[in-house]
Structure 1
Amino acid sequence: MEMKQLVAMVTVAEAGSVTHAAQMLHIVQPAVTRQIKTLEDELGVVLFDRTRQGMVLTSAGEVFLLRARRALQEMERARTELTPQTGDVTGLVSVGVLESLLDVIVPPLASSVAKRFPGVELRIMSGFSGYLQKWLDDGVVDIAVLYNLADTPAMRVKPLLSERLWAVAPADAGLLPAEPVTWDRVLRGPLILPILGHGLRTLIDKARFDIPIEPKISLETNSMSVQKQMVLAGRGWTILPGAGVARDIQEGTLSGAPLAEPRLSRSVVVGLQRAARIPRAVEAVNAELLRVSRNLVVSGAWPSATLVDAPKQ
């Protein structure tokens, strides 16, 4: 098995076709086809179904893709770590972040890492908490910012902060961050909510369990972006983590306020793989992530969050 075969396989999976993969790799199409076929012969499985719509991963291909990506990532990390350096921190670091935290965390983190550790290549991946946990377990990401999770055999978790959930409404509703809004007011109108089974939906349903008002749900979605777009379109109010709407409220496109009793919050944590050796670059980015997050809370740039201390070991 050769590295060029893994590169071809991953590129075809991402591009969806041999033709596009060949263009991305700057090689001829038959060479890509040959590398995929040789890899399949060596593994003894079919990695792709060849369809009119393009190359579609088989179940075996989906399993192998995960390992191939990890192998390529580890080889890239080894190359950067073994390259003679002058003492600077260098390397590739992948960080998984919840979609609802992207706007508040990623810009200051990227800026800070670029300034303090210019030799570090930062990669950001977004997903739901369950995906982030799996990616961390599988080594797809080195660090994950997720919520409501404790230590696992494969992961050590550091509590970072507690974040209140907010009611989010059109700007003309006049909700104010300093004035909590009652559940009675929120539940009286139509709501755009996460789908059943989504972590936020579970929190919402649990909090309103004892409130004798059955909400009128106008739309369910697994996308925070869609929730905000539907509020802007006048389809109703929604409930989201404050970090996900802080910029919208600041710009005046939406209004929002924390929910009154029962208060609704989630615990945001930072997860790292349990490993005998954590690369210097990963340690540096993790420390920077913690520092940037704390500064956001202390400065008021993350108004819905309060810092929490990790439990004593």
Structure 2
Amino acid sequence: MDIRQLKYFVQIAESGNFSRAAEVLRIAQPSLSQQMKNLEEELGVGLLLRHARGVTLTELGQQLYDHARRILQEVDRVKDVVRSSSLNPSGRVSVGLPTSACRGLGLPLIQALAERQPNISLHVVEAMTGYLDDFLQHGRLDVALLYDHKAFEHVAWTEMMVEELMLFVPPGHPLAEQGSVSFREMFDWPIVLPGAPNVMRTVIEQFAARHDVVPAAMACDSLPTIARLVRSGRALGVMPHFAFMDEMERGEMTAVPILDPTPSWRLSVVVSQRSMNPRGSEAVAKVMADVIAAMVDSGTWRARLRTEKARGEARLPAR
């Protein structure tokens, strides 16, 4: 049994008949049939049930199909590892961006990578930070931008900046006229936050616990829905300035500073040390860090950058 036979077998199983599989594989159907006969004889079991409409898998055939697919996927990933060892990083890199940052960061990141790393195929995943953290830990992401990320094994991170959170209100709201709001006072109004275990809610609840405040707030994990709630005046939203730049430019929202205290969080570019494309992942992480730093330096992204030295150092968490 070899990789070629497994590839043939998987294609037959997915095509449902030999003739269609032979067309996809670009080999003669008699040759394909002989390969499957040889495989069944070698294993000593029947893998395919042949009938007028084509073929279906036997129970043992289904088991082989499941294993064969995983083997072929691993072979493809090994190819990416080898390619990533070349001078020019290439291959697929999956990147996770928080919902609050994706709208503003996604396009500049894609444009910068197209210019600086054209051989990398980027897969962008948008989700709330808590989900991205889990995706990274379970190997579904190579790189992610995370807020106050969890420390765990097999990741390196570069802490980029500190971002203050603000209260978003509709135009003409009394707090917009007031110009600022205390952390305690903002809970006199209806507030909407992402639900637990989202980092945003955790940060707010930790601030509240330290200052003897009860943070009553509805839960919503959809940024567009949070935006609609704020625009309608049904609830006020807590987000970083960067999250609702488009709405503010259109005059649909006003950002009100939160004082005494001002909640904030740290943003880090996090890289999985288990990535099957380490060189590609490192290249993407560097481009992301550079794009973020440029946006902060230009004032597009309101945040406080770490020092140049801190930005350039990736640290492994303690085990």
Contact 1:94 1:123 in 2 (8 A): yes
Structure-2 change in CA distance of 1:76 and 1:235 (3 Å): same
Structure-2 change in CA distance of 1:154 and 1:6 (3 Å): farther
Structure-2 change in CA distance of 1:195 and 1:277 (3 Å): closer
Q: In structure 1, what is the Cα distance between the partners aligned to 2:164 and 2:289?
A: 19
Q: In structure 2, what is the Cα distance between the partners aligned to 1:274 and 1:158?
A: 13
Q: Match for residue 302 of structure 1? A: 301
Q: In structure 2, what is the Cα distance between the partners aligned to 1:161 and 1:256?
A: 20
Contact 2:226 2:237 in 1 (8 A): yes
Q: Match for residue 144 of structure 2? A: 144
Contact 1:76 1:92 in 2 (8 A): no
Q: In structure 2, what is the Cα distance between the partners aligned to 1:243 and 1:7?
A: 47
* CA drift at 1:202: 2.0
Where do residues 160-309 of structure 1 align in structure 2 (5 Å cutoff)?
Answer: 160-173=160-173, 180-209=180-209, 217=217, 219-275=218-274, 279-303=278-302, 305-309=303-307
What amino acid does structure 1 have at the position aligned with 2:97? V
Summarize deviations over 1:75-129 as a string: whole Å, max 9, x none.
167259549x8x6442211101111110121111011111222222111012233
Summarize deviations over 1:134-176 as a string: whole Å, max 9, x none.
3223322110111212542221222111111110111222767
Query: What 5-or-longer segments of structure 1 have no aligned partner?
Result: 12-17, 48-63
What amino acid does structure 2 have at the position aligned with 1:281? G
Structure-2 change in CA distance of 1:118 and 1:175 (3 Å): farther
Contact 2:296 2:304 in 1 (8 A): yes
- DSSP-derived class of the 1:208 partner: helix
Give the alignment's Cα RMSD to 1 decimal: 4.0
Q: In structure 2, what is the Cα distance between the partners aligned to 1:236 and 1:149?
A: 27
Residue identity (%): 21
Asked whether 1:78 is paired with 2:76, we answer: no
Contact 2:205 2:215 in 1 (8 A): no
Structure-2 change in CA distance of 1:215 and 1:89 (3 Å): closer
Q: In structure 2, what is the Cα distance between the partners aligned to 1:36 and 1:206?
A: 56
Contact 1:101 1:244 in 2 (8 A): yes
Q: Which moved more, 1:249-258 or 1:270-279?
A: 270-279
Summarize deviations over 1:29-78 as a string: whole Å, max 9, x none.
x88x94797664337xxx9xxxxxxxxxxxxxxxx9xx95x974871672
What amino acid does structure 2 have at the position aligned with 1:307? L
Q: In structure 2, what is the Cα distance between the partners aligned to 1:36 and 1:223?
A: 44
Where do residues 20-31 of structure 1 align in structure 2 (5 Å cutoff)?
Answer: none
What amino acid does structure 2 have at the position aligned with 1:143? V
Q: In structure 1, what is the Cα distance between the partners aligned to 2:279 and 2:156?
A: 17
Q: Which moved more, 1:88-97 or 1:274-283?
A: 274-283
* CA drift at 1:289: 0.4
Contact 1:166 1:259 in 2 (8 A): yes
Contact 2:129 2:198 in 1 (8 A): no
What amino acid does structure 2 have at the position aligned with 1:266? W
Q: Greater Rg, structure 1 or structure 2?
A: 2
* CA drift at 1:308: 1.9
Using the size of structure 1 for normalisation, the TM-score is 0.71
Using the size of structure 2 for normalisation, the TM-score is 0.69
Q: In structure 2, what is the Cα distance between the partners aligned to 1:5 and 1:181?
A: 65
Q: Match for residue 42 of structure 1? A: 64
- DSSP-derived class of the 2:259 partner: coil
- DSSP-derived class of the 1:269 partner: strand
* CA drift at 1:282: 2.0
Q: How many equivalent residue pairs? A: 270
Q: In structure 1, what is the Cα distance between the partners aligned to 2:104 and 2:249?
A: 12
Contact 1:77 1:92 in 2 (8 A): no
What amino acid does structure 2 have at the position aligned with 1:166? M
Contact 2:92 2:123 in 1 (8 A): yes
Q: In structure 2, what is the Cα distance between the partners aligned to 1:5 and 1:172?
A: 66
Structure-2 change in CA distance of 1:195 and 1:79 (3 Å): closer
Structure-2 change in CA distance of 1:82 and 1:175 (3 Å): same
